[in-house]
Structure 1
Amino acid sequence: MKKIFLLFFSLALLTSCSSDDDERNAGDDKILGKWFVAEINNTGALNIEENDCNRQSFIDFKSNFKADSALYAEDGGECNVNTSENDDWSIVGESKYRFVIPFEGIGAQSGRVDFNEDFTKFTFYPDLFLGQNTNIVFEKR
């Protein structure tokens, strides 16, 4: 009986330990991929003017909960990368995410994400500007 118990205990111990438990992975989350700024709908306190240059700004969401982002801005009449970062992103809840917005002075924000039907665009409603009808539309290119 002791041998059977020891056998079951050993099997349980071996199957409960897995290297997969140590790695976080977003799998096939809809937000994965490279998203570019398409629109800035700004009726609140967000003081950003949308233009051809900053529409090149992007966030590239990776499955390991890292995101590369770049902010493009005009400098002397030329459009250049103003800042680029590699930060964490997270799923906060149902249709809620937290990530760094690629615009100066905004930083990491939590908010609601609404995807269009074919998942080629999403609208981000930052919690910081809740009630101000401020949002940023991103599109996959």
Structure 2
Amino acid sequence: MADDPVPAGSRHEWALAAPPDDVNTALDFLRGIWAVNPSVPAVDRAAVETALVELTGNVIEHAAERTPDLVCHIEVIVDAAAVRVDVRDAGGEVEVDFAGIAMPGDTAESGRGIPMIRALVDEFAYERRDAVNHWRLVRLVGATRA
């Protein structure tokens, strides 16, 4: 049903300003979306919440430290098939080998965010365009997973 129109009220936009916003305000934003989209199963909500908290946490930690007053634009589209999250920030270019990154060992103090995001969503993409980082998360709603 990818060609079905997106139901009215399922597109949500927000600008996270770091500081003062943080991952908790990103979580509050998503919880407001679930209130108007109650058909999204709890397991999919939790996966999207965790993935977005990890992503915005990384943006705040790594991009905001180099870019004072960073604004991170977040768009969420919810339909019967998926929850799609697009995040844009004007922080520095991210130089990570996304294909080769794996979950670090138990004693590592960092490096879990991207592998965790990849495990929680069905699509995770990063692209740098016009001095802006573009992140895309897609979680298929109600999909059977191994």
Tell me the TM-score normalized by structure 2.
0.28
* Greater RCO (Cα-Cα under 8 Å, separation 6 or more): 2
**Higher fraction of strand:** 1
**Higher fraction of helix:** 2
Larger radius of gyration: 1
